[in-house]
Amino acid sequence: MPKTFPWDSYSDQPHVLKKEDKKALRKGHAFDYLKLISTNLIYFPYLFIKFLLKHSESEALTPNKTRLKPSVPSSQNFYGLCVNLDKGEEQFKLVDELNVKSLQIRVFLKDINNLNDYVEFAKGFGEDKEILITIIQDREHIENHELLTNDITTIFEKFKDVAHEFQIGNAINRIKWSFVSIEEYLKFYETVQKVRDEQFPNIKLIGSAVIDFEYHFSIRTLFNRYKIHYDKFSTLLYVDRRGSPYSTQMGIFDFKNKIEFLDTLVKSSSKSENAIYITEANWPLSGTAPYAPTSEKECVSEEVYAQYMKEYFDIALKTRKVEKIFWHQLIAAGYGLVDNREGKIRKTEAFYAFKELIFENQILSDKNSLLTFKL
């Protein structure tokens, strides 16, 4: 059974595992998958019907909902951005230029020996940022909960004056990211939560970080007998394989309806507060292989990327169901706002579009604050 998962430094994610490695990892987890199936057989029909009824009612009341004028987000720092330690200190100036206040930083459990570097990196962005730390799992910590308890305690202690929100796990429904089953994730989260509850009550835990429109995994993380609770519910909601965020999947699920359906799941569960974070989204850029995380077929031009990004934020904002979105990420040649190939920093059209979104949001927030003050 593989213990290490090779990392693709071009696309900032693990390589796809070989079939024989996946088979070896799944061995002994049949009962876990049975729980996944049975949970969905019980809950999915009820949740889907509940979504359809709410959707029909909403469309009847506001048939032109997507044409509504933008509203001020429930969180002033709605627009978030992913930054990485290995991308360097150039990110400090770029973040200041964008005036983005919500940042997400990955901390790898397998890199725990360099934890101080992550802490100093987070501090480098200044004290006016809301930082979400995402804990990236590995097999060693998944299998050894005593080790997980010790290291998560260290992480919480080191970051206690820097960040108070921690996303536990990342892309948990992809074996290449180390979790073989949702049961492994639930036990992992339960162990982390126990540390939080006993020693760090002011920390907020966020999960379950399922990637893509695979809500059968989300359902299992929301409906189970584990003693867990999500202070906010997260999803890595990519829609890039469909092209435009207005494109549909399975007939009715455009990006807006994917949010609405997720909102139905969250509000129907006692395991989570009614708050949703989208912690990853982007489109792959054409002509950037091997940096692009997908095939050229899914890639788009920098101009289309900027357009889709603005539509993505606009749609999510108008649903009023999403508290924050973290764009993935600032510097990444194949899918980010900045291309750093050949050691040069080149800001794409999307960089300036993102900057404009934050500026417009600040104006709307200021106007709303002034109106509230006058009233």
**Residue 25: its pLDDT value, please?**
94
Structure-model confidence comparison of residues 266 and 363, the more confident one: 266
**Residue 355: its pLDDT value, please?**
97
**Residue 58: its pLDDT value, please?**
74
What's the CATH fold of domain 7-374?
Answer: TIM Barrel (3.20.20)
Global pTM?
0.94
Residues 35-87 pLDDT 10s: 999 999 999 999 999 999 988 877 766 655 444 445 556 567 999 999 999 99
Q: Which tokens in the block code for residue 180?
A: 């073989």
**Residue 365: its pLDDT value, please?**
74
- Lowest mean pLDDT across 61-70, 100-109, 314-323: 61-70
Q: Which tokens in the block code for residue 23?
A: 């088979």
**Residue 372: its pLDDT value, please?**
55
Yes or no: say if 298 and 255 are a contact pair by the CB < 8 Å rule.
no
Average pLDDT in the chain? 93
**Residue 60: its pLDDT value, please?**
66
Is the dihedral angle over the CA atoms 250, 251, 255, 259 positive or is it negative?
Answer: negative
**Residue 375: its pLDDT value, please?**
57
Given a cut of 70, is residue 196 above it in pLDDT? Answer: yes
Residues 334-369 pLDDT 10s: 999 999 999 999 999 999 999 999 999 888 777 766
Rounded Cα distance, 335 and 346, in Å: 13
> What single letter denotes the amino acid at residue 368?
N
Yes or no: say if 112 and 157 are a contact pair by the CB < 8 Å rule.
no
* DSSP 8-state secondary structure symbol assigned to residue 309: H
Q: What is the mean pLDDT of residues 7-12?
A: 94
Confidence of residue 1 (pLDDT cuts 50, 70, 90): very low
Q: What is the mean pLDDT of residues 259-281?
A: 98
- Lowest mean pLDDT across 70-74, 79-83, 137-141, 184-188: 70-74
Q: What is the mean pLDDT of residues 184-204?
A: 98
SS3 breakdown of the chain: % helix, strand, coil, rounded to 5?
Answer: 50, 15, 35
